[in-house]
Amino acid sequence: MAITVNKQAKTITLHTKHTSYQMKIGNLDYLLHLYYGPSIPDADMSWQIMQYDRGFSGNPYESRGERTFSLDAQPQEFSTQQQGDFRAASIQVVNSDGSYSFHGKAESYQILKGKYKLDTLPTVFARDTDIVDSLEVTLVDQASQVKVLLLYGVFEEADIITRAVKVVNGGDKPIHLSKIMSLCLDFLNGADFDLVSLPGRYGQERQVERQAMTHHIHNIGSVRGSSSHQQNPFVILCGRETTEDYGRCYGFSLMYSGNFLAEAELDQYDQLRLGMGINPKQFFYQLKPGETFEGPEVVMAFSMEGFTGLSHLYHDFYRTNLCRSKFVSQVERPVLINSWEAAFMDFDDVKLVKIAEAAKDMGVDLLVMDDGWFGKRDDDNSGLGDWVVNENKIKCGLHKLVEQINDLGMKFGIWFEPEMVSEDSDLYRAHPDWAMEIPGRHAVRSRNQIALDLSRKDVQDYLIKSVNAILDDANIYYVKWDINRSLTDIWSNGLPAQKQGEVYHRYILGLYRVMDEIILTHPDILFEGCSGGGGRFDPAMLHYYPQYWVSDNNNPIDRLKLHYGTSFVYPTCTMGAHISDSGRFVPLETKAVVAMCGTFGYELDATHLTKEEQKICREQSRLFRKYYHITFYGDFYRLTNPFAPGNMTAWQHVTKDKRESLVSVVVTNLTCNGPQEYVKVKGLEPFAMYSVNGSQETRSGAGLMNAGIPINREVPEYSAFQFHLVRKD
Ligand code: DGJ
C-alpha cells in the first residue's frame, strides 16, 4: 500500500520503495510534518516532536493555557499565516475584509487510486504499469472558508513523491492570493544541511553551487517571467557529508516555466524549512467565490547514494513519466544540422539545399531552417510575429524546399519564436495592443523585440492558427521553439487594472494552452525547446518537448560544465548538443564526444568542411547511433567534477543490464611531465569481464572500477577518448 493511515495516531504515511514520508493531524487539527527519508516501519513518528514554552513564541488562541504549542516551532505540511509562525509562509491570502490571515486546519483527507491531475498546469503522469496512489488533504480556514487542498502523488517503484496545491475560495466574497507555495517541507534539525542549486547566465547555464545553510532565508528563484538562464527550478538539500556517491540528498524539481521561488530557511532553532512554488513577485491573484487556483507540481526524490543516486531517480522518472512524445522511446531522434551558426539569417533556398547535400555525406538525417525564413527578417530588428514564408529568401516556396530536402532522403525542420513580436512587423502594426507595453510608457526592448501578451485568448488563438498553418502546410518533421528575451513591462490590455497582478502567471497558462494546441496536435513532429540556449530548461517544458537546447554556447570545453550541471536532474536524452565551429583548437572528434552527451547534431556550414572532415563527421554520426541505446537509456555517471581542479573531464553511461558502457574522457589540460592519470569507472558488474573497444583482452568490472582506465598522456591538447565496454560472458 503506497499510502497508509493510522487512525489512532492520526498519521498518514506515504511509502515508496525506499522512502517514507509521514504527516499527522496534530494539536488543534494543524497538519504537522513528521518524517521524510529512508523507509521506516513506524506508523507513528509523533515522538519526534518536543514542545517547550519558547520565549516570544505565539500560541494559537485555542491552546490558551498551553504555552508549549507554537506553530513557530512545529514542523508543518503547509505553513499558516498570522498564527504565530514567523518563518516563511506557504500562503498569503488577503481576505475580503482586508485581513491577511489563513489559519488552515485539516478538515478531511481522501486517498485516491492513480495520479491526481491539475486542470491548468502540466504534471507528470502514471503509466499503465505504474503503481501510483494520490492523497488529498483539505485544510480550511473557518473564518474565511478559504480551503487549501494539498495533493500528493506517490510513485512507489520510482521512489518519487509529487506535491501540488489548490486554493478554493469557499467564502462568498472575492479574496486575493499574494503568495502560494506548492511545497512546504520542514526538517526538525537542518543545521548540517547544504543547499545545492544550478545558477548561471546566458551561455553558461546550470553551473553548480553548493552552500552551507546558515541562519537566514536562502532564496533561489527567477523574476524574469521564465524559469531563466540565471537559476533553475531545481534544488538539492543534502547532508554536509554528502558526496557524488554517498550520503543523504533530497531533490525538489518544480514543473513550472515562469517566475519561481525556492526558499530555504534555517530558523532560530536550527529547523530547516524549504518552500517552493510560484515567485510572489508582482503576484496578486483574485479568486471569486467558488473559484480555484492551482499551484504547480513539485517532484521530490530522496537518495542515500549521493548526487548520483538522486540523479538516477530523476533521470529514470523524467525519461518515462514526463513527456508523452513518441520520440521519447518509440522513434530514434535524428542527427540534425541546424542553419543558425552556418548562415545566421543570411540564407536562401539554394544555400539551404547545398548545406543539406553536404550534410547528407556526414550522416545527417534532418536539416533545420533556423531563424530568418519568415516575414521581413534579415536581422533581429524585424519580422517576429509574421509567421508567413519570406519568398524573397525561400524563392521556391516552403513546399518545394521541403520536397527538395526530402528528395535527398532527409527530413526537414523549422524554427519559430511564437511568443515575441517585432515593432517592425505586420502583426505589431495591426495589433499594437497585443504587445506587453504599459500604457503611457515605452516598453523595455531586448534584442529589440517585445513579448506578446500570451495571457490574452485572441493572442493565443492567433499563434495557434498561424503556427499550425505552417506545420500543416509542409512535411515538417521537427520544430525548434525559441524565446529570446525575459519578460518586462508586465501588463495586459485584456485585463482590468485590479487584475494586472495575474499577468505573469496567466502568460504561462496561455503559453501552456498554445503548446497544448500546437504540440499535442502534432504527435508526429519532434519538438525541441530553446530559450536563447537553455534559458527555460525546466520539467514543465520537457513535458512538451523531449529535448531542450542546453546553451547557445557550443564551445565543447565550456559544454563539459554545462552538461555536468544539467545532468544533476535532466537525463542525456533531453540535452540538445551540437558540433559547431566554436572551440577552434578542439578537434572535431572531441566535439563529437561532447555532443554525444546529448541529442547530437551539427551547427555549421557543411559546405565549408573538407572531404576528410566530412568523413570524420560521418563516422561520428555512426557512433552516435551505435551508442544511442547506452546514452539515451542507460544510467549516467559523473566521473569527475569539471569545476574542481583536474586535467580531464570524464563521464559514463551504463546500460541497465550492465552489459555495456560508454566511458567518455576529454583531456582539458596537459601538464608537462605530469603523473599518469586513471579514470575509475562506475556501475559495472564487479566480477564480470569486459572488453574495451573490441579488444580480445578483457578486464574485470572490479579492476576497471577500482584501479581505473589509464589515460594516454602523449596526445594533443583537448584530445578525447571513448571506451566502449562490453561484457563478455
Ligand atoms: C537563440 C537560439 O538559442 C539560437 O540557437 C538561434 O535559434 C537564435 N536564437 C535565432 O534567433
Q: Extract the runs of DSSP E, i.e. beta strands, from 279-410.
A: 285-287, 292-303, 336-338, 366-369
pLDDT of 671 higher than 90: no
Residue 271's pLDDT band, with cuts at 50, 70 and 90, is very high
Residue 370 beta carbon below 6 angstroms from any ligand 1 atom: yes
The SS3 call for residue 571 is coil
Cell of 325: 512524445
Which residue's CA is minimally distant from atom 9 of ligand 1?
Answer: 532
Residue 16's pLDDT band, with cuts at 50, 70 and 90, is very high
Residue 371 beta carbon below 6 angstroms from any ligand 1 atom: yes
Which residue's CA is minimally distant from atom 1 of ligand 1?
Answer: 532
Residue at grid coordinates 518545394: 400
Sort 343 into a burial class: Cβ within 10 Å, 0-12 / 13-18 / 19+.
Answer: middle
C-alpha 7/C-alpha 24 separation (Å) is: 10
Residue at grid coordinates 538522486: 310
Catalytic annotation present for 516: no
Task: Report angle CA 326, 470, 123 to the nearest 5 degrees.
Answer: 40
The 10s digit of each residue's pLDDT in 605-621 is 999 999 999 999 999 99
Which amino acid is residue 216, in one-letter code?
Answer: H
Mutate to test the pocket of ligand 1, among 422, 552, 578, 579 (most ligand atoms within 8 A of CB): 552
Cell of 75: 514542523
The 10s digit of each residue's pLDDT in 386-416 is 999 999 999 999 999 999 999 999 999 999 9
Q: HSE of 514 in the Cβ direction (CA atoms, 13 Å)?
A: 27
CATH superfamily of 639-728: Golgi alpha-mannosidase II (2.60.40.1180)
CATH of 3-321, one of 2.30.40.10, 2.70.98.60, 3.30.930.10, 2.60.120.380: 2.70.98.60
Residue 530 beta carbon below 6 angstroms from any ligand 1 atom: yes
What string of DSSP letters covers 501-544?
A: GGHHHHHHHHHHHHHHHHHTT-TTSEEEE-BTBBTT--HHHHHH
Please check whether the two domains, 3-321 and 639-728, share a CATH topology: no
Global confidence as pTM: 0.98
From the CA of 549, how far away is ligand 1's center (Å)? 9
Catalytic annotation present for 379: no
C-alpha 697/C-alpha 699 separation (Å) is: 7
List the CATH code of the domain at 336-453+475-510+525-626. Answer: 3.20.20.70
Residue 363's pLDDT band, with cuts at 50, 70 and 90, is very high
Among 372, 306, 311, 362, CA closest to 337: 362
Domain-wise residue ranges, the chain:
3-321, 336-453+475-510+525-626, 639-728
From the CA of 207, how far away is ligand 1's center (Å)? 21
- Catalytic residue of the set 209, 558, 613, 685: 613
Residue at grid coordinates 489563513: 102
Residue 672's pLDDT band, with cuts at 50, 70 and 90, is confident
Cell of 242: 554528502
C-alpha 91/C-alpha 351 separation (Å) is: 56
The SS3 call for residue 176 is strand
